[in-house]
Amino acid sequence: MTGTPPELKPTRELAEQLGGVLRGARYNTGGLMVALGGEITTSKLKAPVQDRRLGDEHLAQLARLFLLGVPVETETARRALVPADLDELTEAGLLHQEGGTVKGAIRVTPYAGLLLAHDSDSAEHLHSDIVTGVNQAAKTLASLTPREEVSTALDIGTGNGLQALLAAVHVDHVVATDVNVRALGFTELSATLSGLTNIEVRAGSLYEPVQGERFDLVVCNPPYVISPDTRFVYRDGGMRGDDMTKLVLTQMPEHLNEGGLAQMLGNWVHAEHEQWSAPAKRWLEGSGCDVLLLHHASVDPLNYAETWIKAAAATEPKDFPEALDRWTDHFAELGIERVASGAVTLRRRSAATNWAAELEMPRAPVAAAGDHVLRLLDAQDLLRDGGDEVLARQVFAPLAGHRIERVSVYSDEGYGEEASQLIPQGDAGMEVGVDDLALALMRRLDGERTLTEVEAGLASEIGAEPGTLLEAVLAAARSLYERGLMLRISDPGPPDDEPAT
Ligand SMILES: C[S@@+](CC[C@H](N)C(=O)[O-])C[C@H]1O[C@@H](n2cnc3c(N)ncnc32)[C@H](O)[C@@H]1O
β partners of residue 218:
154, 262
Cβ distance 450 to 493 under 8 Å? Answer: no
What is the helix (H) or strand (E) element at residue 175, kind and residue range?
strand 171-178
Q: What is the distance of C-alpha 239 from the center of its chain?
A: 23
Beta-strand (E) ranges in 271-322?
289-299
Pocket test for ligand 1, best of 145, 184, 188, 221 (most atoms within 8 A of CB): 221
Q: Which atom of ligand 1 is nearest to the CA of 134?
A: 9
Q: Which atom of ligand 1 is nearest to the CA of 222?
A: 10
d(CA 252, CA 150): 18
Which CA distances in Å does 260 have to 143, 152, 154, 339, 375?
Answer: 18, 10, 11, 29, 16
Q: What is the distance of C-alpha 271 from the center of its chain?
A: 26
* CA dihedral (109, 130, 45, 101) positive or negative: positive
Cβ distance 248 to 237 under 8 Å? Answer: no
pLDDT of res. 424: 84
Name 1's Cβ contacts closer than 8 Å, sequence gap at least 6: 123, 124, 126, 127, 314
Q: Per CATH, the architecture of 386-490 is what?
A: Alpha-Beta Complex (3.90)
Q: Which atom of ligand 1 is nearest to the CA of 141?
A: 8
* CA dihedral (473, 475, 481, 483) positive or negative: negative
CA-closest residue to ligand 1 atom 13: 157
For ligand 1, the distance from its centroid to the CA atom of residue 137, given in whole angstroms, is 12
Q: Per CATH, the architecture of 136-365 is what?
A: 3-Layer(aba) Sandwich (3.40)
d(CA 59, CA 4): 30
Q: Which atom of ligand 1 is nearest to the CA of 183?
A: 27
Give me the tens of pLDDT residue by residue for the chain, a chain 501 residues long: 445 666 899 999 999 999 999 999 999 999 999 999 887 877 777 888 889 999 999 999 999 999 999 999 999 999 999 999 999 999 999 999 999 999 999 999 999 999 999 998 775 667 888 899 999 999 999 999 999 999 999 999 999 999 999 999 999 999 999 999 999 999 999 999 999 999 999 999 999 999 999 999 999 999 999 999 877 788 777 889 999 999 999 999 999 999 999 999 999 999 999 999 999 999 999 999 999 999 999 999 999 999 988 876 556 777 889 999 999 999 999 999 999 999 999 999 998 899 999 999 988 887 899 999 999 999 999 998 888 999 999 999 999 888 888 888 998 988 887 788 888 887 888 877 888 899 999 999 999 999 999 999 999 999 999 999 999 999 999 999 999 999 999 766 665 555 544
Query: Omega of the bond prior to 83 within 30 degrees of 0, cis?
Result: yes
Cβ distance 301 to 327 under 8 Å? Answer: yes
Cβ distance 391 to 478 under 8 Å? Answer: yes
Cβ distance 319 to 329 under 8 Å? Answer: no
d(CA 466, CA 461): 10
Q: Please report the DSSP string for 42-98 in residue order.
A: --TTHHHHHHHH--SSHHHHHHIIIII---EEHHHHHHHHTTS-HHHHHHTTSEEEE
For ligand 1, the distance from its centroid to the CA atom of residue 231, given in whole angstroms, is 13
Cβ distance 146 to 347 under 8 Å? Answer: no
53 residue type, one letter: R
Task: Report phi then psi at 153, rounded to 5.
Answer: -140, 155
Pocket, ligand 1, Cβ cutoff 6 A: 138, 141, 156-159, 162-163, 177-180, 183, 205-206, 221-223, 233-234, 237
d(CA 174, CA 403): 35
d(CA 374, CA 481): 12
Burial 473-482 (b: 16+ CB within 10 A, else e): bbebbbbbbb
d(CA 360, CA 297): 8
Cβ atoms within 10 Å, residue 176: 30
pLDDT of res. 313: 59
For ligand 1, the distance from its centroid to the CA atom of residue 178, given in whole angstroms, is 6
d(CA 476, CA 458): 13
For ligand 1, the distance from its centroid to the CA atom of residue 234, given in whole angstroms, is 5
Name 286's Cβ contacts closer than 8 Å, sequence gap at least 6: none
Q: Where exactly are the structural domains of the chain?
A: 12-105, 136-365, 386-490
Pocket test for ligand 1, best of 111, 179, 210, 226 (most atoms within 8 A of CB): 179
331 residue type, one letter: F
DSSP state, residue 446: -
DSSP state, residue 3: S
162 residue type, one letter: L
For ligand 1, the distance from its centroid to the CA atom of residue 206, given in whole angstroms, is 9
Q: Do domains 136-365 and 386-490 have the same CATH topology?
A: no
For ligand 1, the distance from its centroid to the CA atom of residue 69, given in whole angstroms, is 24
Say if strands 403-411 and 414-423 run parallel, antiparallel, or are unpaired. Answer: antiparallel
pLDDT of res. 63: 97
Q: What phi-psi label fits residue 445: left (phi over 0), alpha (psi between -120 and 50 degrees) or beta?
A: beta
297 residue type, one letter: A
d(CA 171, CA 189): 19
CA-closest residue to ligand 1 atom 27: 159
Is 285 buried (19+), middle (13-18) or exposed (0-12) by CB count in 10 A?
Answer: exposed
d(CA 34, CA 199): 31
d(CA 215, CA 110): 28
For ligand 1, the distance from its centroid to the CA atom of residue 118, given in whole angstroms, is 13
Largest CA distance in the chain: 87
Name 50's Cβ contacts closer than 8 Å, sequence gap at least 6: 36, 39, 41, 63, 67, 68
